[in-house]
Structure 1
Amino acid sequence: AVEAVTMDLNAQYQHFIHRIFPNAKIIIDRFHIIQLAGRALDQARLSILRELSDHRCRHYKMLKSQWRLFHRNESQLNSQRKQFKRGLNEYLTDQEVVDTITDQFPSFKRVYTSYQTILHAIQEGDTTTLKELINHYQPIQSEMDTVISTFRKNWQGIENACCYQYSNGPLEGIIRKIKQLKRGCFGFKNLAHLFI
């Protein structure tokens, strides 16, 4: 009777879900899709940071201190108002920071463009754009190659993520709060105290 199961990209889960719920559609949680692509973007950024020997150069500072801008949806980047950027000690728009890095490092630009396409497609439920990216993607020797390969293997679940509104978001949020509580209290001798 179970019609849908929302889960992460763990292949082992999918095998036993099919056995227990043969009629269920597997939906890969949108959070995990974006998280996987975000990790690939971070790996590309960190590999550039490791290559730059001058830690005082402008590009190094941009990649190090303004990393959140690269994860933000392109449509939400401020391209009009200049703001003081800490770590850089300059007045720049968000778009100027992103453009400076993507113009300087073409390999990072390809990873960044792929990330933005995935982000937009998942947020808008646009399976056509996502499938186009997966089918026409050219490997660039980065973590994004693995992400696209994973998406190919799990295409049906990812397509379902765009079509259905089911999400593990609330559950993931509760789990995160429990983990933070346990970390903050350095563990519990008595399990009842944790529940309280």
Structure 2
Amino acid sequence: MKTFDKRSRQYQLLKSPWKLYLKKFDELEKVHPHYNWHYKDCLTQAQAVTEGINTSTTLENSYNLMQSFIQAVETGNTHELKSLINCQDQIGTLMHKTLLTFKHNLTAVLNGAALPYSNGCLEGFNRKIKQIERTAFGYSNFTNLLTRIRLEEDLYKENILT
């Protein structure tokens, strides 16, 4: 990005539609072109991304690696993931740093892709606890906070005498 002039077409193709580079390529619009005043042309989303990644081989390799990685995680293909993590292509420094982190935690990454388990329930429960703490503005007693959390999750039933 820093090598291009700010008024150049390559810079505008990389700068303005930055969210398109984060999407899966299959989800991009390929049929209906739209006029964009940033690069003064009528392009589809797929054409804009293709022209943008063709500005640099490093960017193209990084983008293709990211797309392959997303697809391998979705399909649960651990052999493909392992080969992508050990990839020797010329990629950007941040992507290289990410791949080194994945190499360091290789077994966890492969297990996360292969197994159907998720920590979504735990994350949702943690979010609910934080929301209770935020709206309560602090309880004077920790047991009151725990009681409130249990009440919200219906884990604690009050004994009501009828």
2:80 counterpart letter in structure 1: T
Deviation string 1:84-142 (CA, Å, 9 cap, x unpaired) is 34644532111111111111111111111111111111122111211111233335451
- Whether 2:115 is the aligned partner of 1:164: answer yes
Matching of residue 55 in structure 1 with residue 6 in structure 2: yes
Q: Which runs of 5+ in 2 are unaligned?
A: 140-147, 153-162
Q: In the alignment, which residue of structure 1 is the partner of 2:66? A: 115
TM-score normalised by L of structure 2:
0.70
8 Å CA contact 2:33–2:43 kept in 1: the answer is: yes
Contact 1:114–1:133 (CA under 8 A) maintained in structure 2: yes
- The residue identity in structure 1 corresponding to 2:96 is D
TM-score norm. by structure 1 comes to 0.59
Structure 2 CA distance for partners of 1:82 and 1:137, relative to 1, 3 Å: same
Aligned with 2:86 (options 125, 135, 145): 135
Identity of aligned residues (%): 29
CA RMSD of aligned residues (A): 3.0
Deviation (angstroms), 1:151: 1.2
SS in 1 for 2:35: strand
Cα distance change, pair 166–189 in 1 and its aligned pair in 2 (3 A): closer
Distance, in Å, in 1 between the alignment partners of 2:18 and 2:123 is: 24
Give the structure, 1 or 2, with the largest relative contact order (CA under 8 Å, sep 6 or more).
1
Amino acid at match of 1:121: A
Shift of 1:173: 5.7
Cα deviation, residue 83, structure 1 = 2.4
Q: Which residue of 2 aligns with 1:97?
A: 48
Task: State how many pairs are aligned.
Answer: 141
Which residue does 1:34 correspond to in 2? none
Q: Distance in 2 between matches of 1:172 and 1:70?
A: 27
Specify whether residues 63 and 136 from structure 1 end up closer, same or farther in structure 2 by C-alpha distance, changes over 3 A only.
closer
Moved more, 169-178 or 97-106: 169-178
SS at the partner of 1:51? coil
The amino acid across from 1:159 in the alignment is: L
Structure possessing the higher radius of gyration over alpha carbons:
2
Report the structure, 1 or 2, having the larger helix content: 1
Q: Distance in 1 between matches of 2:129 and 2:52?
A: 38
Question: What is the SS of the residue equivalent to 2:42?
Answer: strand
User: Which residue of the other structure, out of 123, 146, 154, is the alignment partner of 2:97?
Assistant: 146
Instruction: Map 1:1-196 to 2 at 5 A.
Output: 48=1, 50-52=2-4, 54-85=5-36, 87-138=38-89, 140=91, 142-172=93-123, 190-192=137-139
Deviations 1:9-61 (A, max 9, x none): xxxxxxxxxxxxxxxxxxxxxxxxxxxxxxxxxxxxxxx2x222x32222222
> Judging changes above 3 Å, is the alpha-carbon distance between structure 1 residues 178 and 93 closer, same or farther for their aligned structure 2 residues?
farther
Q: Does the 8 Å contact 2:59/2:91 carry over to 1?
A: no
